[in-house]
Structure 1
């Protein structure tokens, strides 16, 4: 199902194209001969399995969700304003406008698009409780959309959770479904004091009826071992194979943990590649993407300083609202200082040369 996975800037382009006087939806679908065609009408419903569209003749047309390429649809002014704000890197305004659109939008399939956008915007603001709330609303609106599990705002890094995140995770751990419980356990894995209870919950979740949730729970249990310094080299290789077997939208978080474990094991090339997956292939968690850029740059600093500089600059340009961008600015200052000193001392020597 392509729409919920679409990056916000791409969504802005589609939304702007659909804005204006057009009152109908335009759905581009794949055809049996490998081509594409546009179908005009009103999208009645759109979920992980099926898109239903009411044609101008009144006929109800149905298309498998996997055949849907894009949807151009009129958007509320607040929806468009939120997407514009995101494109301009104005995270607070984007969250405000997208939330207003969610309150006004009656179409369930467009509300899912808004919820997905809000998860990303909440993570950009480092507001994991809000991201979790919006993700759970999205997941429960269409539980069969397993690709959306890649939006789950569960941590995969090695930083301890903030107090507000712990409070939300305690509620999620006792949640009504496996997705909510996985979200809570994943946050609590980051807390040494709560890790044993989280691992017990993950053990139960590894037997979930959802294969995707079960596998993510197993990988979170492995993350607990990484954080405890107990992961072995053989487990590292096994984790890589398991991550590769996941659907692509679910790989980004586990790959970040793989990067951490690879760096600890001294496998820096593998760590760099793992850290770069999020900023290259995924845009659902801007803070993780920015963190990945900085960690990859730090690993490249000694052997390829110019590549490191490019990654630090990319962090600042793409994710100026993140803590990682501040780190990147410090790294650039540190890098520039000795180079400036070297240039200053080189000038007199050159002047005195024949």
Structure 2
């Protein structure tokens, strides 16, 4: 019920933007790279739409509409309603509840559909930082319904660590598995992949998604399947782990966090602790958009370093988990580990 309510709330907000009059006096600015050259051009006018595939801008000079591929966009400048700016301030201060309230006000006041998607992405980030996967998933799916090629796809709240499923999460996962959208099925398969009752159903779907035409979905699905292989760590070989590493490095940078975490776990199971620590540290150092996963990865990295006698380095990492990710379960474990280190 919670998820359905949030989905309806967000969907109506995104959809309503299309029915409101666009502010034709809006002065936006974009910088784009010229094709087959190192040159850049700056255009001013009104952005009509901005998706994962292209940007449309109406020139302030002659009112002509120009379209550029999103891949060529260097910078976008626009104005924002006051609640959005306040939300960004709260978010930078890690006040995620206040940020959520501000962004919800902003999305009600904003009449540009492409900016509403930007605000919705911030609401996804807030839910992720708060550890609310149900709300994050619902809002993420609303975002992809509005723009299937969204450049915020890396925010998809997939399951990477073993976690118990509540009844509502299980029901949502099952419903998502039967959806027409490949993105929605990916979320459902991720939730239920290790579930005793629906795990086989989820595995079949995840294997199908691993051949999906959409590279983003295909890459995530392939890495998600490693979770199954980690259930039998003794069968893992060095060749497999090297293949995983190469797969991660071929994956777009913003999608690599979960893969590095799973590779770290695999190396840890194989007692190759130096390599496991190296893999784990990618998350707190580079890919920390999911603070719970980054915290867990940082903690596991410290544990790996302890296994090879690097107590000083491990202590620094444990302190980092406590200080930087204080509201996560990993921080509680890190605090206990630090006390044990001090007693030695």
Normalising by structure 2, we get a TM-score of 0.83
Instruction: Determine which of 159, 173, 176 is the counterpart of 1:172.
Output: 176
- Give the distance between the partners of 1:251 and 1:34, measured in 2 at CA: 28
Is contact 2:189-2:202 (8 Å) kept?
yes
**2:95 counterpart of 1:53:** no
Task: Write out aligned runs for 1:121-270 (5 A).
Answer: 121-145=126-150, 148-229=152-233, 231-233=235-237, 234-270=239-275
Output the aligned Cα RMSD: 2.4
Instruction: Determine which of 59, 70, 77 is the counterpart of 1:72.
Output: 77
Q: In structure 2, the residue corresponding to 1:203 is in which secondary structure?
A: helix
What count of residue pairs does the alignment treat as equivalent? 316
Is contact 1:124-1:322 (8 Å) kept?
no
- Give the distance between the partners of 1:112 and 1:212, measured in 2 at CA: 19
Pick 1 or 2: higher relative contact order, CA cutoff 8 A, min separation 6. 1
**2:30 counterpart of 1:24:** no
CA shift for structure 1 position 326: 2.7
- Pair 1:90–1:270, CA change in 2 (3 A): same
Gaps of 5+ in 1: 1-21, 339-354
- Give the distance between the partners of 1:230 and 1:163, measured in 2 at CA: 32
- Pair 1:164–1:262, CA change in 2 (3 A): farther
Instruction: Determine which of 103, 108, 118 is the counterpart of 1:103.
Output: 108
**2:313 counterpart of 1:310:** no
CA shift for structure 1 position 208: 2.6
CA shift for structure 1 position 280: 2.0
- Pair 1:80–1:318, CA change in 2 (3 A): farther
CA shift for structure 1 position 28: 2.6
Paired position in structure 2 for 1:283: 288
Is contact 1:159-1:190 (8 Å) kept?
no
- Pair 1:127–1:70, CA change in 2 (3 A): same
**2:120 counterpart of 1:120:** no
- Pair 1:187–1:37, CA change in 2 (3 A): same
- Give the distance between the partners of 1:310 and 1:70, measured in 2 at CA: 37
Paired position in structure 2 for 1:62: 67
- Give the distance between the partners of 1:326 and 1:115, measured in 2 at CA: 31
Gaps of 5+ in 2: 1-24
